[in-house]
Amino acid sequence: MTTTNSNEVDHTTNMLKDKHVEYIINLDKKEKSFEYWVTEHLRMNGLYWGLTALNLMNSIDKMNKQELIDWLLSCQKPNGGFGGNTHHDDHLLSTLSAIQILVQFDSLDKLDIDSVVNYIVKLQQEDGSFIGDQYGEVDTRFSFVAILALSLLGHLDKINQDKAVEFINKCKNFDGGYGSIPGAESHAGQIYTCVGALAILNRLDTIDIDNLGWWLCERQLPNGGLNGRPEKSSDVCYSWWVVSSLSTIDRLDWIDNDKLKTYILKCQDNETGGVADKPGDMPDVFHTFFGIAGLSLMGYFDLEHIDPVYALPTKLLDKLNINLPWNK
């Protein structure tokens, strides 16, 4: 399969790699525009999505590293956490994105690691769960984000890991999936976070693999795309949430990879570049990243390989000496 730029190319069978690179680079130039890294308060997440997508396409050097690191460091608050932009409150989600960006720029040494670790550790609750910020919402997303961030910083020992696992297991449902809090319905996004957290803590043994594998593969619809829970429509971002979970539990062959690839390709915008949530919709940086990440996980188009748990290029995790037993 070729990778090309031409408008004459059939985007339903080819990946428009060069156009996607241009699309992402241009987002950075459209400062103050509506699309500027999705929305202002999410800029740290947006930068992580865009940068990682470029990295998978071997084009990270197209970004201005020094300028971005200076901006990123200006988003750190006195309590150690990072805001989504310079004048925004700290949040666990933007703190993880900041760390993932620094890993990709090989610049973790720019960080006062102890202050960030302290910030994250304080967010763990008595029952092992994590809150995302000062407002106190509990969600398995925050368990995962805290565990992933501490793992990248080499300080997982600072939290109560057994309690963290206990809380995640309370969020497991009869169908083998996981929800955001105990009793909440299974959702592919929450499953990614719970499976990822358990993988990092070396507790994949607590997962009901067959049940979960079935639930996940039933997310594939006749159009090849995946949905996030029963009765919902397909969306490109589930090419990450579902495919990464299947990959971590070693059941990626339980869905039709070729049909999903075609669905993702149909969501490409062959004029502007970028990938949309559904065929014909407007592209955005979030779905561009998750579409490309899904293709990378499935091994298409000579993309840099992404790790299904850390959501970073595998080669960078090897450099950090992070153990990836699921990556056989």
The footprint of ligand GRG (CB under 6 A) covers 93, 141, 144-145, 187, 189-190, 192-193, 228-229, 232, 235, 237, 241, 311
Q: Find the binder of Zn ion among 148, 149, 165, 237 (CB under 5 A).
A: 237
Q: 313 - beta bridge partners?
A: 306
Task: In angstroms, give the least distance from the CB of 193 to ligand GRG.
Answer: 5
> In the complex with ligand GRG, which residue's Cβ is closer, 17 or 229?
229
What's the min distance (Å) between Cβ of 291 and ligand GRG?
A: 13
In angstroms, give the least distance from the CB of 261 to ligand GRG: 20
> Which DSSP symbol is given to 148?
H
Q: Which does 196 bind (CB under 5 to 8 A by kind): ligand GRG, Zn ion, none?
A: none
Residue 91 site contact among ligand GRG, Zn ion, none (CB < 5 to 8 Å, cut-off depends on kind): none
Q: Which does 232 bind (CB under 5 to 8 A by kind): ligand GRG, Zn ion, none?
A: ligand GRG
Shortest CB 158 distance to ligand GRG, Å: 20
Our CB check for ligand GRG shows the closer of 228 and 274 to be 228
CA 222 to chain CA centroid, Å, is 25
Our CA angle for 312, 313, 319, nearest 5°, is: 100
Rule CB under 5 A: say whether 188 interacts with Zn ion.
Answer: no
Q: For 179, phi and psi rounded to 5 degrees? A: -115, -170
Helices (H) and strands (E) in the chain, counts: 13, 0
* Backbone φ/ψ region at 205: left (φ over 0), alpha (ψ -120 to 50), beta: alpha
Site for Zn ion in 272-311 (CB under 5 A): 277
CA separation (Å) from 152 to 76, 80, 144, 266, 306? 18, 16, 12, 35, 15
Residue 235 interacting with Zn ion (CB under 5 A) = yes
4: left (phi over 0), alpha (psi -120 to 50) or beta: beta
Of the two residues 116 and 298, which places its CB atom closer to Zn ion in the complex?
A: 298
Q: What single-letter DSSP state applies at residue 176?
A: S
Residues at the site binding Zn ion, with contacts judged by CB under 5 A: 235, 237, 277
